[in-house]
Chains A and B, each alone.
Chain A
């Protein structure tokens, strides 16, 4: 026996013996500590002043809303968007930026060259929801629910949306092979 002060019980099961060592103090302490923590944690979240999951979420959303309110363009669609977009659509670097994003986010439905597929053709003169840069930006942000255009507003930054608008505007008249038939109203 490693420690002859330990008490060996007179149990014998198929040759297995048992010592009667006391419960390790740290183990007992740990057990009580977790029980105390459990009571405190439950009390805080479900009886005391702790936030519910819903409150936690609203708090988080309010914080972001405040940040975006201080910086209106952060949410997109600020009052000066028309002027901002007028500059952006002429900026070659922004068109290039838009093209990169188009390849990962829009290509699947609008075709690699914007000629349409699952979604409408973006290269002709026909527009279902308007061809103004601000109109295009709004459609990208809010989507078209019953047509399966997802809202990108929650996912993309305002400047990313603007770059996409710039790229889409640059597609006009490119007439790629296999382009989809016109949809919507003709706008010159």
Chain B
């Protein structure tokens, strides 16, 4: 390796930029995949026919592929490229181990490929952004540990006494993502590609959104802030505006972000106080988030004239501005009254894309353009093309967000609209969808513009790099750090400087902040007596219903349908009395959903006859005119896997679902019996094919179970609350 000791004072070393180039290419490749799949599912929203009747590319299966590709493949590789480039320079040390760098790179790509090869087949846990099944989860854990060892090893070997703010953010990212991923992915396997989360219902919801929200915080925010702190001052040639602000906003962000997860669960059956905590911590996050924006934008003082000429700075300025907007919009949407309108609508979609395309996308693009002449002996092929990319991307995002804001607010208002006598103004859910369908086309145009800009970048990068040699590794000479840590600060220096010189202590403090916040925000609710009041009226799923539920998860139904009737007058008129926490107490995983492109299904059981569902899944428009739901013809030819049910029930029992030994023993015959009854009923109403062993019957049994126990409880004498 390039390190060798010249004398006792100076060491010679060089940086590993080969690994940065690898992550650079991976970022571009997976970005193309993520955006292309995004465009495809946007097209499917505008017109349901665009899955061409193929189950593998139906919306419910492609949507997780889109989100996983955007977050873990595109943003993930961008983060790694940026971290590997900047950390070596900020720490004045080559990465700890070239082998670990290599394992990290190829391991991560393997995880992405596994995701791309499983999600289209409906292999999913059914929890948003944590869809990947347990073998891949284990792979993620291993590769993340490899990354952590490599990163902390580099810190250990550093030749810079103090760690710079970018490194603080990288540390927070690495330790927190590990904690989030492990805690939320504790699933018990049924088979190699099927597992159930150990949490159920409201607990699963709480853990999932602690994870989901903080994935945004620690996978899409803190690492990008770290990148900003490196690449922004480098590109602008200006000092960072305020070191003190860095300190305050770093610690505030790390501690406060963790608490905000329950803002995804407002107006649900989560206890009120836990919901309110989520709301207030979200609002308190505005200033810490804006601390990063201020430090970024004010770093450009005196360099604003260069923003006009330099595409890199344009992307950074717009990216940081989108960050500021998103971190204001998010807290506003966490206030109960705003959330009541925004939740479950396209407003959320607008919000996340402001963050993903504007902040993560533009910061990444700026970084890639900046890195080209550093990583290769070349210069950017065309500034004009990069500028065109910027403007196309910017207008694409604006079009995207405006259309989805309009769609979300329109649908939100229609869904709760009441006439003067207290009746729903739009009783048919589908009316609210057909109203906003034209906006799905506008969104598609916005997405296409963003994608086109990205393709211009690819062309520009290829033209810049092709034929160019990789930049030669420069050999640096630096003294090694004395092993004794220098504790203490110079006069006038902040005491924070002490822990900047002690990265181990710094890391421990970060972990403590994250763990304390996690424990305080999760444990009281998880241990609270009133979380789920036991009620014998609510029974576990029968074996066939459980199998149907797994199909519901496989097809990604939860991505368009919620199972949570919120406690408002309009919702209770539309769907029935507000959902109780007991109703999902056996739901591993919970399926409350986060978006309603279709109506809530918490009480759909018994609302329609089996024949209705039979026709509906074949072609929704047969029973709901103007429905935009795709067709599911494969459910009518694929056979139900009855053989696995005994195993499934016994796994469910081991995570707390009270199945009797007999129910487990007889899982298969019981399921066949129930399927036969449903098929006979269908046959009596004119269905002339034998379908008892087909998947559609299992799905129907599950849909008919939804809300059945609640109805029986309220129908029983003295049962109504």
Name B residues whose Cβ lies closer than 8 Å to a Cβ of A: 86, 89-90, 92, 160, 162, 164-165, 230, 233-234, 239-246, 248, 252, 267, 272-273, 275-277, 279-281, 283-284, 286-288, 290-291, 294, 298, 301-302, 336, 418-424, 427-428, 567-569, 572-574, 578, 606-612, 615, 622-625, 685, 711, 715
Asked whether B273 lies within 8 Å of A46 as measured between CB atoms, the reply is yes
Query: How many whole Å from B429's CB to the nearest CB in chain A?
Result: 10
Asked whether A64 lies within 8 Å of B284 as measured between CB atoms, the reply is no
Asked whether A53 lies within 8 Å of B284 as measured between CB atoms, the reply is no
- A60 to B288 Cα, complex, angstroms: 37
Query: Which residue in A21, A38, A57 is a CB contact (below 8 Å) of B568?
Result: A57
Query: Which residue in A22, A27, A54 is a CB contact (below 8 Å) of B567?
Result: A54
- A38 to B243 Cα, complex, angstroms: 27
Query: How many whole Å from B626's CB to the nearest CB in chain A?
Result: 9
**Count of CB-CB pairs between chains A and B under 8 Å:** 178
Query: How many whole Å from B518's CB to the nearest CB in chain A?
Result: 19
Asked whether A23 lies within 8 Å of B609 as measured between CB atoms, the reply is no
Q: Any chain B CB within 8 A of the CB of A92?
A: no
Asked whether B284 lies within 8 Å of A14 as measured between CB atoms, the reply is no
- A74 to B246 Cα, complex, angstroms: 61
Query: Which residue in A42, A60, A150 is a CB contact (below 8 Å) of B569?
Result: A60
**Which residue on chain B has the smallest CB distance to residue A74?**
B421
Asked whether B612 lies within 8 Å of A57 as measured between CB atoms, the reply is no
Complex interface: chain B residues within 8 A of A45 (CB):
272, 276, 336
- Apart from A64-B418, A68-B422, A148-B606, what are 4 other A-B pairs with CB-CB below 8 Å? A18-B243, A23-B244, A52-B272, A61-B569
- A156 to B160 Cα, complex, angstroms: 72
Asked whether B301 lies within 8 Å of A16 as measured between CB atoms, the reply is no
- A156 to B424 Cα, complex, angstroms: 7
Query: How many whole Å from A137's CB to the nearest CB in chain B?
Result: 15
**Which residue on chain B has the smallest CB distance to residue A2?**
B302
Query: How many whole Å from A43's CB to the nearest CB in chain B?
Result: 10
**Which residue on chain B has the smallest CB distance to residue A13?**
B164
Q: Any chain B CB within 8 A of the CB of A118?
A: yes
Query: How many whole Å from A83's CB to the nearest CB in chain B?
Result: 20
Asked whether B569 lies within 8 Å of A57 as measured between CB atoms, the reply is yes
Q: Any chain B CB within 8 A of the CB of A5?
A: no
Query: How many whole Å from B290's CB to the nearest CB in chain A?
Result: 7
User: Chain A 64-96 against B: per-residue CB contact (8 Å), 1 yes, 0 no?
Assistant: 100110010010000000000000000000000
Known contacts A148-B606, A148-B608; decide if A17 and B240 are in contact (CB<8 Å): yes
Query: Which residue in B90, B92, B294, B423 is a CB contact (below 8 Å) of A27?
Result: B294
Complex interface: chain B residues within 8 A of A41 (CB):
276, 279-280, 283
**Which residue on chain B has the smallest CB distance to residue A145?**
B606
User: Chain A 5-17 against B: per-residue CB contact (8 Å), 1 yes, 0 no?
Assistant: 0001101011111
**Which residue on chain A has the smallest CB distance to residue B233?**
A16
- A27 to B246 Cα, complex, angstroms: 13
Complex interface: chain A residues within 8 A of B86 (CB):
14
Asked whether A155 lies within 8 Å of B283 as measured between CB atoms, the reply is no
Query: Which residue in A60, A74, A108 is a CB contact (below 8 Å) of B612?
Result: A108
Asked whether B284 lies within 8 Å of A38 as measured between CB atoms, the reply is yes
Asked whether B685 lies within 8 Å of A118 as measured between CB atoms, the reply is yes
Complex interface: chain B residues within 8 A of A148 (CB):
606-610, 612
User: Chain A 21-45 against B: per-residue CB contact (8 Å), 1 yes, 0 no?
Assistant: 1111001101100110111011001
Asked whether A30 lies within 8 Å of B612 as measured between CB atoms, the reply is no
Query: Which residue in A21, A39, A68, A74 is a CB contact (below 8 Å) of B241?
Result: A21
7 cross-chain pairs, A with B, having the tightest CB-CB distances, nearest first = A148-B609, A155-B427, A38-B280, A31-B287, A108-B623, A64-B422, A17-B239
Q: Any chain B CB within 8 A of the CB of A173?
A: no
Known contacts A38-B280, A148-B612; decide if A23 and B245 are in contact (CB<8 Å): yes
- A109 to B624 Cα, complex, angstroms: 10
Asked whether A42 lies within 8 Å of B280 as measured between CB atoms, the reply is yes
- A41 to B578 Cα, complex, angstroms: 24
Asked whether B243 lies within 8 Å of A23 as measured between CB atoms, the reply is no
Asked whether A31 lies within 8 Å of B685 as measured between CB atoms, the reply is no
Would you list 6 pairs from A and B whose C-beta atoms are within 8 A, ordered by A residue?
A: A20-B242, A108-B612, A148-B609, A155-B423, A155-B424, A155-B428
- A157 to B294 Cα, complex, angstroms: 54
Complex interface: chain B residues within 8 A of A119 (CB):
609
Known contacts A41-B280, A150-B608; decide if A13 and B90 are in contact (CB<8 Å): yes
Q: Any chain B CB within 8 A of the CB of A177?
A: no
- A14 to B294 Cα, complex, angstroms: 22
- A54 to B610 Cα, complex, angstroms: 33
Query: How many whole Å from B262's CB to the nearest CB in chain A?
Result: 12
Query: How many whole Å from B533's CB to the nearest CB in chain A?
Result: 14
Asked whether B267 lies within 8 Å of A53 as measured between CB atoms, the reply is yes
- A52 to B267 Cα, complex, angstroms: 10
Asked whether A16 lies within 8 Å of B239 as measured between CB atoms, the reply is yes
**Which residue on chain A has the smallest CB distance to residue B303?**
A2
Known contacts A21-B241, A148-B607; decide if A38 and B283 are in contact (CB<8 Å): yes
Complex interface: chain A residues within 8 A of B422 (CB):
64, 67-68, 74
Known contacts A41-B280, A67-B421; decide if A11 and B568 are in contact (CB<8 Å): no
**Which residue on chain B has the smallest CB distance to residue A154?**
B573
Query: How many whole Å from A42's CB to the nearest CB in chain B?
Result: 5
Query: How many whole Å from A57's CB to the nearest CB in chain B?
Result: 4
Asked whether B608 lies within 8 Å of A157 as measured between CB atoms, the reply is no
Q: Any chain B CB within 8 A of the CB of A49?
A: no
- A30 to B273 Cα, complex, angstroms: 24
Query: Which residue in A37, A39, A64, A147 is a CB contact (below 8 Å) of B609?
Result: A147
Asked whether B567 lies within 8 Å of A23 as measured between CB atoms, the reply is no
Known contacts A21-B241, A61-B572; decide if A27 and B612 are in contact (CB<8 Å): no
Complex interface: chain B residues within 8 A of A42 (CB):
273, 276-277, 280
Complex interface: chain B residues within 8 A of A35 (CB):
284
**Which residue on chain B has the smallest CB distance to residue A66?**
B422
Complex interface: chain A residues within 8 A of B573 (CB):
154-155
Query: Which residue in A24, A104, A118, A157 is a CB contact (below 8 Å) of B611?
Result: A118
- A15 to B230 Cα, complex, angstroms: 10
- A56 to B252 Cα, complex, angstroms: 33
